[in-house]
Structure 1
Amino acid sequence: MDRKQLYIAERTARYSGGQISRRSFITSLVGAGIAVPAALGMASRVEAQTPQRGGTYRHGMAFGSTTDSLDPGTYENGMMTQVSFSYGNCLTEVAPDMSLRAELAESYEPREEGAVWAFTLRPDVTFHNGKTLNADDVIATMNYHRGENSSSAAKGILSPVVNITKEGDNVVVFELDGPNADFPYIVSDYHLIILPSEDGETIDPTAGIGTGGYSMVNFEPGVRFQGTRNPDYFKSDAAYFDDMELLSIIDTTARQNALMSGEVQVADRLDPKTVALMARNPNLEILEKTGYLHYTFPMRLDSPPFDNYDLRMALKLAVNRQEMVDKILLGHGTIGNDHPISPSVPYWADLPQREYDPEQARFHYERSGHSGALQLSASDAAFAGAVDAAQLIQASAAAAGIEVEIVREPADGYWSNVWNKKPWCACYWGGRPTQDWMYTSGYTNDIEWNDTAWTGTEASERFNMLVDEARGELDEARRAEMYAECQTLIHDDGGAIVPMFANYIMGVGGGVTHGEDVASNWINDGNKSHERWWMS
């Protein structure tokens, strides 16, 4: 840059850092030869991108259930993920630029070629009850999820951990059953927010006390979560709002109306059918991110007739994926291939795309020996357009001689009464940044969230063995081969129909703004918009 550009950059940095006034900034720009209107515009842009403290953040969410609990081991939807990151923190976190960084940990390092990981905690971090964070809190929290009698949804992803010890009060050491280069990602999982231990060994999982940017004021399951800014938060560059409120608004139209009317400033999971119309509103920003989100129709192998390979294959071949992407996502996503790994995840394998083939679907259906209607449970609580997607499956399957009966389920209680219980239903998965994390969240045979109950087949046994071996495989080429086979096994034998990967579509208004980088590991800036965004 020339001297003039360097000078302007220096003045901009000083103004954004609060070191000079608006008047001084504009005067200096004018003195450098910038016209007054342009200088005023530059000042406004800097102000918009400079985090300001204050205001109340209100967010209309497409998630939530009256059966939700503050117990992190039970979190199963996007609202509870955001609640988790409101009052709690993990050892690590995925940053807005999608890199992994330390959070409650100050640093972390592998030992014994990744079979042991040591996390050094930040000093002087306090919980909302005034207790100082130490290694005992981390150990007690992790043991709560991995205990023998634990029913936590995080038990599976912690299964590689064989022992947890401490070195002094601020270093926690995880001993694994083998090398695992991905382990620092695992401890960023939203179930694993660190809670205060009561006696150095136990935690109260439902107290709602954490180290997060907001202290809980009120929690009404399936209705709202309210928090107020934690004045002692260890992050000086986060949690800018004075107060925050997350509102569960499951109905898509109601949620979008709340955004348009100003009842909320942010709404997620906007309907692709209406997002173009909403984009015409000059007071709204349509924020769209491509991440790991995928929509699924899991068939449970523990519920006949879905234990029949030919029946599962018939239904996979009876789905017109491209039609679904075109009519449900309207271009806001890409076609899926009956496995949960996004092309942006390391070691993604470019498998031959499964095409809609009613003749082959009919062949497998007849070979299955099944007759009669197959019930498919659906609700737009699963994802916007889930009922319409089910109707597309019904129509495309009919061409193969397969009768599908759609069961319209209530939105409230969908995740506790339908998903992971009904034999065939609509579902979504936020996806995970590593293959091991995704598999140990929803596909291995030892976890609560294996929503296809994919166990007992030769393919599933091979898959579980490969997942264990790949976790400790240090040869990159060999690891790629193993993960390619994992994807192939799910694609061929698994119970998941994965027709499409969807973009995250959010609406932002009401004076709320955000930084240039917005994370896409989860919706809503990694479900941390309440912490990372601010009032302009």
Structure 2
Amino acid sequence: MSKFNKESGAINPALTQAITEARLSRRGLMKLLSAGAVMSTGLVGFPETSFAAETPVKGGKLRAAFANASATDTLDPAKGNNSGDYSRQYMFYSGLTELDKSLTVQPALAESWHSDDGITWQLVLRKGVNFHNGQPLTSKDVIYSLSRHKDPAVASNAFKLAEQFKTFTAVNDSEVKLELSQANFDLPFMLSSAPFLIVPDGTKDFSKGIGTGPFVLKEFQPGLRTVGTRNPNYFKPGLPHLDEVELLGVTDQAARVNGLFSGDLHIVSTLTASDCKRIKASSDFAVLESKSGMYTNLIVRTDLKPGSNEDFVLAMKYLQPREMLVKTVLQGYGDVSNDTPVPPWHPLYNADLKPRALDVEKAKFHLQKAGMTGQTVEIITTPNIEGSVEGGQLIQQFAAQAGLKVKVRRVPYDGYWSTHWTKDPIGYGSINPRPTLDMLFSQFYLSSAPNNESGWKNPQFDQLVVAARGERDQAKRKQMYGDMQTLIYDHCGTIIPTFISANDGYSKKVKGVEAWPTGMMMGYRFHEFAWLTA
């Protein structure tokens, strides 16, 4: 983990290990700050200005900390898989479209798009846009950026989504014709997501982060930090406001919050409920709560024992203390879920599927049917997945009353996603919001999805996913998505007890930030809109 690209230089392995093993204390963070190992300078300097807070101030350097940090941190949009990856990628790259805070699709690199049938799409590119290296944006860059996800050798996280892309045609330098294998009227929403950010034609080396985004890469040290400077040629007039942004990966919760209070950090992600209470008690800091579709889920593999027995899965659903998790663990920063990945506020939510109440007797009945009474199972948890440790411990208590012995094993966060996620018979996952239900279902629930967490396979569900993409009638579409949620509710092994608000803490010297339902830190794009004032 000590070897990085040549521009970054060598990193002390002990520093990286301290972060990834969640051992970075307040004292440890300060040591890194003063040594310049994580921060490029000492304490934060704010620009002096007499402007009112509501008037964007130009200049200044903002430091932010995410809870993710590992040697696999990436600038390749095809490989991003966590909030830290998404945020750094939105710093340096732009998409053809983007979502605003009302989840409305807005033009970005594509100034317009059109399709009569949902299959053939015309994308007209914005003229006069250049990459950070001065190269002009053309249709070739768009075709390369989208088509690379179809190459199995790339191992893109959007591989299943990109299977829809049938042919690309460069009509001219500023127009692309994209033909899909089947109709999908959600395409403009899909193109706003991080995997489909646009890179220069032929890019193989992503360590330089060359894109058309609001910041130009200055430094990238996987597992530690990313630094970007303002792109003076950004295609959006007046943006960004900041001269420089530094993103840090700090996995230790206390270190992030203490760094915020000390002034070493301006904004931090992934607050616990107790952190929120502490920050709200201060007059100098605030909490940014974003209601979204983010959730922590208990994954019961349905292709392995004991999850291959539907009665066992149903018993685990009846052992979820949903209200208790929201009230005690989340302290109100969340909503009860019904085990489907669709939040209650979503327009396609199936309100007929009521959350199962905690019911030890029903759990006992289904455990007996599954032949699991008196048996022992293990639930794998990790501290950095919010609510997983507490959720596992609560299940352990109630399962004992139902006749099931549960062992809760905590494992280090470093390596969790590659070693444990989707591999353990029973363990936890954490899913960030997706722009559309089609993306969510295609990436995590389709039988053939690479991230099908519970190994669930349902041909009827698969058919409905494809059919709904091409359905323009909103009433019929709602019915289709309602039917898909019913199948998940009744049969799937991913158990979602709650939706979790994305809670970020920030200094009140940071302005321009607001809640976006697309994810934490303004949908991972806070750096484009934020500014600093004294």
Same fold (TM over 0.5): yes
**What corresponds to 2:27 in structure 1?**
none
Q: Report the Cα distance in structure 2 between the residues aligned to 1:394 and 1:46, rounded to whole angstroms.
A: 55
Contact 2:309–2:370 (8 Å) recurs in 1: yes
Contact 2:90–2:194 (8 Å) recurs in 1: yes
| Structure 2 residue 531 is matched with structure 1 residue 534 | yes
Q: Give 1:179 deviation, angstroms.
A: 2.5
**What corresponds to 2:502 in structure 1?**
504
**What corresponds to 2:164 in structure 1?**
160
Q: Give 1:121 deviation, angstroms.
A: 0.8
Alignment of 1:232-271 (within 5 A): 232-271=233-272
SS in 2 for 1:311: helix
Contact 2:76–2:89 (8 Å) recurs in 1: no
Contact 1:288–1:504 (8 Å) recurs in 2: yes
Q: Which amino acid aligns with 1:454?
A: W
**What corresponds to 2:59 in structure 1?**
54
Q: Which amino acid aligns with 1:327?
A: T
Q: Report the Cα distance in structure 2 between the residues aligned to 1:417 and 1:129, rounded to whole angstroms.
A: 38
Q: Report the Cα distance in structure 2 between the residues aligned to 1:172 and 1:204, rounded to whole angstroms.
A: 25
**What corresponds to 1:346 in structure 2?**
347
Q: Give 1:206 deviation, angstroms.
A: 4.8
Q: Which amino acid aligns with 1:316?
A: K
| Structure 2 residue 141 is matched with structure 1 residue 137 | yes
Q: Report the Cα distance in structure 2 between the residues aligned to 1:251 and 1:465, rounded to whole angstroms.
A: 43
Alignment of 1:16-35 (within 5 A): none
Q: Report the Cα distance in structure 1 between the residues aligned to 2:471 and 2:50, rounded to whole angstroms.
A: 48
Q: Which amino acid aligns with 2:245?
A: M
Q: Report the Cα distance in structure 2 between the residues aligned to 1:148 and 1:366, rounded to whole angstroms.
A: 44
**What corresponds to 1:440 in structure 2?**
442
**What corresponds to 1:474 in structure 2?**
472
Q: Which amino acid aligns with 2:142?
A: V
Q: Report the Cα distance in structure 2 between the residues aligned to 1:286 and 1:187, rounded to whole angstroms.
A: 30
Q: Report the Cα distance in structure 2 between the residues aligned to 1:493 and 1:269, rounded to whole angstroms.
A: 31
**What corresponds to 1:187 in structure 2?**
191
Q: Which amino acid aligns with 2:475?
A: A
Q: Give 1:447 deviation, angstroms.
A: 2.2
SS in 2 for 1:399: helix
Q: TM-score, normalised by structure 1?
A: 0.86
Q: Give 1:344 deviation, angstroms.
A: 2.9
- What CA deviation, in whole Å up to 9, does each residue of 1:435-469 have, x standing for no partner? 112111211122222122212xxxx1111111111
- What CA deviation, in whole Å up to 9, does each residue of 1:51-87 have, x standing for no partner? 1111111001122322223322221111001011011
Q: Alignment partner for residue 409 of structure 2, among 403, 407, 412?
A: 407
Contact 2:381–2:409 (8 Å) recurs in 1: yes
Aligned positions, number: 483
**What corresponds to 2:89 in structure 1?**
84
- What CA deviation, in whole Å up to 9, does each residue of 1:197-227 have, x standing for no partner? 13xxx65445422111111222222211111
- What CA deviation, in whole Å up to 9, does each residue of 1:228-249 have, x standing for no partner? 1122211223221111111111
Q: Give 1:135 deviation, angstroms.
A: 0.7
**What corresponds to 1:367 in structure 2?**
369
**What corresponds to 1:16 in structure 2?**
none
| Structure 2 residue 122 is matched with structure 1 residue 124 | no
SS in 1 for 2:115: strand
Q: TM-score, normalised by structure 2?
A: 0.87
- What CA deviation, in whole Å up to 9, does each residue of 1:367-407 have, x standing for no partner? 22236321111112222x42122211211222211221111
Q: Report the Cα distance in structure 2 between the residues aligned to 1:119 and 1:529, rounded to whole angstroms.
A: 27
Q: Report the Cα distance in structure 2 between the residues aligned to 1:506 and 1:328, rounded to whole angstroms.
A: 17
Q: Report the Cα distance in structure 2 between the residues aligned to 1:245 and 1:416, rounded to whole angstroms.
A: 26
SS in 1 for 2:367: helix
| Structure 2 residue 529 is matched with structure 1 residue 524 | no
CA RMSD of aligned residues (A): 1.8
Q: Report the Cα distance in structure 2 between the residues aligned to 1:484 and 1:278, rounded to whole angstroms.
A: 39
Alignment of 1:371-410 (within 5 A): 372-383=375-386, 385-410=387-412
Change (3 A) 1:249 1:148: closer
Q: Percent identity?
A: 33
Change (3 A) 1:136 1:474: same
Which structure has the larger Rg over C-alpha atoms?
1
Q: Which amino acid aligns with 1:352?
A: K
Q: Which amino acid aligns with 1:507?
A: G
SS in 1 for 2:162: coil
Contact 1:345–1:435 (8 Å) recurs in 2: no
Q: Report the Cα distance in structure 2 between the residues aligned to 1:66 and 1:395, rounded to whole angstroms.
A: 37
